[in-house]
Structure 1
Amino acid sequence: MRILHTSDWHLGRSFHREGMLGHQAAYVDHLLDVVAEENVDLVVVAGDIYDRALPPVDAVQLADETFARLAASRAQVVVTSGNHDSVRRLGFGSRLIDAAGVFIRTDPATVGTPVLLDDAHGPVAVYGLPYLDPDALRDGWALPGRSHEVALTEAMRRVRADLDGRAGGTRSVVLAHAFVAGAQPSDSERDISVGGVSLVPTTVFDGVDYAALGHLHGQHTLTDTIRYSGSPLAYSFSEAGHRKGSWLVELGAGGLTGAEFVDAPVPRPLARLRGELDTLLSDPALARHEGAWVQATLTDDVRPEQPMERLRSRFPHALQLSFEPAGGVRPTPVHTPEPGRSDHQIALDFVEAMRGRAADADESALLQLASEACCGDRDLDVIGAS
């Protein structure tokens, strides 16, 4: 059986206010091409289909089109909900959708009930574990503690109990959405810690032929049989070094026989640049980043004028700008206004503290006008005054 493992689509998400839906649709096209070209039998999506519980209409439409296209493909599909998904919205109509070969699993009560598939070597039991909130399950499952490890351990106990009742030789695949020890998070994942306890050891998945993980946005191989596919697109600049795509996994008669990472299309590369603004604008070695989404950290001692506009003259897709002077970030002084000190003088102090140099004559005059415009006419009588 050939399995394509993907996760964390986050349909509807933007990247620093850049719309990503068109790039997400291009990834779906790529996914369908891989299914056809690689003779994929099963696609597993390990959570976070949407970016939020109330996804925008165009994201729902893309998900609907994606599942319809997958249902018409040669592959069957198992989908689980992640911590970003609404269980009820994603799971709506799942019993009807099952008939089309797209199995959406969002209910924790079903973790021990697999989707049963067959290949030339016999049965494969696919267990879809949705994101498991320990607080929500603690009473119903009589959990002995308040952690993701405890919740997943109970879910896997139910999986193993079902497997033990099946004929020998039944292979198993588990989908789970969690933070499993040994992987490195990025800046774009939502924190799922409960009381500070979010890590789950890999031993929770012992005995499973393949564990398809979701939640972390970087691809990771924790063991031969436990892997994160990561998100198909970058959703933060901390993912600039990530390789994006999905795992193509093969199950033989005795379990996993191979796994190959299939690269996803990159809509636009990411670049993290650092240096003085004039250097970034003139260094010929940076020409290769001119078409990239750029995060720039300026190290000028004095904050340049119109830095983003100037940066975009060379890097038109610059999205994020920060300042770290080479001598270190100066602490912003906190002043207690002195008696008799004018608003204009306080504004001049603020400009100098934030920029590293005093306002020039034109700027000072503009600040004077602004200060006067914000103050009422002191010559007017105060209503109600005697």
Structure 2
Amino acid sequence: MARFLHIADIHLGFDRYDNRERTKDFFYALQDVLQRYAIAAQVDFVLIAGDLFEQRNIQPAILNQAQICFEMLREANIPVLAIEGNHDNRPYGTKSSWLRYLADWDFLILLEPGDVAAGELFYEPWNVETKRGGYIDLPCGVRVLGSYWYGATAPKAIEQIAAAIENLPPGPEHIVLMFHHGLEGQIARYAGALRYDEVLPLRNAGVDYLALGHIHKNYSVEGWIFNPGSLEANSIEESRYERGAYLVDIGAAGVQAELKRDYYQRSVVRLSCTLRGHETLEDVEQVAIAQVQRAIQSNQLNPDDAPIVELRIEGQVGFNRLDLDTRQLQQQLQALSNALIFLLKYEADSVTYASPLSDDASRSQIEQEVFVDLLTANNVYKKRAQALSRGMIDLKNLQLEGRSEQELYQFVETLLTSDSE
């Protein structure tokens, strides 16, 4: 029986929130997973099914993170087998990438099919001297094959891979293929996903374990297709997905794959509140603060974890929605929650009113009703909307008469301080 670790979509160098500590989270997650479920679990090998890096061009510190992790495995005599994903694949027309660099320095084995158009075999065995090859036969009794990132041509590439597998010389009993692509039906709004019948030729060709990457959500299909998901959430939305690392045993009894999720991950907390339109500006601020406080009291949010927090404010507000100082409120909530990153999603709309008007309404009537609607939508003025709207008509007329600014100011001051309606 052989044991291996299957991971994908590690995205070292992730920098979406421009936060150094968040970027380090992806390194800590990889380091912890390898320590727990590769070294401590004494696996025979580790698979990386694409997207080791967030970008094709990486900073020296990010390369150093990868080298630190792979040096741990090298010292434990655990080989790393990898393929490129769409994030870290070599640019078109070039022959090198940072994964190729790591392979040339014996940090990993980069399995790539040959260039058939140039006269190469599609699958050549791994050559330890040239550090090139498309597949490798391991002493633990497993043949592992690699692939490229194929994008929209993936269905055609699968046909080519299946044909190449059937033409390989006899080897170990079990076949594992790494393939960076997703199956349809796993997440919404994902164009270009493969149908099950499009990957079925691989099983017919003898693949026992299809090690996928690309989609950041864990899923498995019919006991031979496995996608662990990303090690860390690349967005707030992804935090709701189950994801992790597969610890796999493969032998005479078949495939036994267990998803491991107990490793270093930054806590992500998603909160929301809905406004009804009667709240004042101060009320909205207090509602937001109370929502975070309740999350802390219920242990949904632990400030000691320095979590990532999202608060979504929805519904309607009875004032100009732009009057809320979201930056100041966000800073206050971040301090309260001790969040590494606090995302305030202010999606509430201002309350709107539209009084019915007859088709023969005069211009003055239309103006009057427009003012009434605007005032009624504001919590401060809605009780005096009728009186204030008449005053605004009078103010307009005074302006048209050419009254002085002082006279206009005194009129407005009297209008706003008056208790009459």
TM-score (norm 1): 0.70
Q: Which range moved further: 66-75 or 298-307?
A: 298-307
Unaligned regions of 5+ residues in structure 1, if any?
A: 135-146, 331-351, 359-386
- The answer to whether the 8 A contact 1:2-1:249 is kept is yes
- The answer to whether the 8 A contact 2:83-2:147 is kept is yes
Matched with 1:296 is: 311
Identify which of 319, 340, 351 aligns with 2:342. 319
Q: Matched residues in 2 for 1:94 and 1:272: separation?
A: 38
SS of aligned partner of 2:164: helix
Matched with 1:272 is: 270
- In the TM superposition, residue 130 of structure 1 has moved relative to its aligned partner by 2.3
Q: Matched residues in 2 for 1:125 and 1:91: separation?
A: 21
Q: Which amino acid aligns with 2:156?
A: V
Q: Does 1:151 align with 2:134?
A: no
How do 1:9-20 residues align onto structure 2 when only pairs under 5 Å count? 9-19=10-20, 20=22
Q: Does 1:25 align with 2:34?
A: no
Q: Does 1:34 align with 2:37?
A: yes
Q: Matched residues in 2 for 1:289 and 1:329: separation?
A: 35
SS of aligned partner of 2:150: coil
Q: Matched residues in 2 for 1:103 and 1:148: separation?
A: 22
How do 1:208-247 residues align onto structure 2 when only pairs under 5 Å count? 208-247=207-246
Q: For residues 149-198 of structure 1, give each alpha carbon's deviation from its aligned partner in whole angstroms, at most 9, with x where no partner exists.
A: 12223223222322xx315x621000000122242269xxxx7x5xxx44
Identify which of 132, 137, 142 aligns with 1:116. 137
- The answer to whether the 8 A contact 1:21-1:59 is kept is no
Q: Does 1:90 align with 2:118?
A: no
SS of aligned partner of 2:72: helix
Q: Residues 27 and 268 (structure 1 numbering): CA distance in 2 closer, same or farther, change over 3 Å?
A: closer
Q: Which range moved further: 311-320 or 29-38?
A: 311-320
Q: Which amino acid aligns with 1:298?
A: I
- In the TM superposition, residue 319 of structure 1 has moved relative to its aligned partner by 2.9
SS of aligned partner of 1:10: coil
- The answer to whether the 8 A contact 2:158-2:202 is kept is no
Matched with 1:171 is: 174
RMSD over aligned CA atoms reads: 3.0
Matched with 1:130 is: 148
Q: Residues 94 and 272 (structure 1 numbering): CA distance in 2 closer, same or farther, change over 3 Å?
A: closer
Q: Does 1:199 align with 2:194?
A: yes
Matched with 2:364 is: none
Larger strand fraction of residues: 1
Q: Residues 293 and 111 (structure 1 numbering): CA distance in 2 closer, same or farther, change over 3 Å?
A: farther
Q: How many residues align?
A: 306
- In the TM superposition, residue 41 of structure 1 has moved relative to its aligned partner by 0.5
Q: Residues 199 and 310 (structure 1 numbering): CA distance in 2 closer, same or farther, change over 3 Å?
A: same
Q: Residues 118 and 271 (structure 1 numbering): CA distance in 2 closer, same or farther, change over 3 Å?
A: same
- In the TM superposition, residue 281 of structure 1 has moved relative to its aligned partner by 1.2
Q: Matched residues in 2 for 1:230 and 1:255: separation?
A: 22
Matched with 2:48 is: 45
Q: For residues 239-289 of structure 1, give each alpha carbon's deviation from its aligned partner in whole angstroms, at most 9, with x where no partner exists.
A: 122333200010113642x11111142442112211154223114531132
Q: Residues 111 and 64 (structure 1 numbering): CA distance in 2 closer, same or farther, change over 3 Å?
A: farther
- The answer to whether the 8 A contact 2:71-2:107 is kept is no
Q: For residues 81-116 of structure 1, give each alpha carbon's deviation from its aligned partner in whole angstroms, at most 9, with x where no partner exists.
A: 00011332134356644xx57311245547634111
Q: Which amino acid aligns with 2:210?
A: A
- The answer to whether the 8 A contact 2:51-2:87 is kept is yes
Q: Which amino acid aligns with 2:267?
A: P
Matched with 2:419 is: none
Q: Which amino acid aligns with 1:199?
A: L
SS of aligned partner of 2:231: coil
Q: For residues 116-159 of structure 1, give each alpha carbon's deviation from its aligned partner in whole angstroms, at most 9, with x where no partner exists.
A: 1122xxx321001121245xxxxxxxxxxxx3212223223222
- The answer to whether the 8 A contact 1:12-1:21 is kept is yes
Larger helix fraction of residues: 2
TM-score (norm 2): 0.65
Q: Which amino acid aligns with 2:290?
A: S
Q: Matched residues in 1 for 2:218 and 2:102: separation?
A: 28
- The answer to whether the 8 A contact 2:3-2:247 is kept is yes
Q: Matched residues in 2 for 1:156 and 1:357: separation?
A: 68
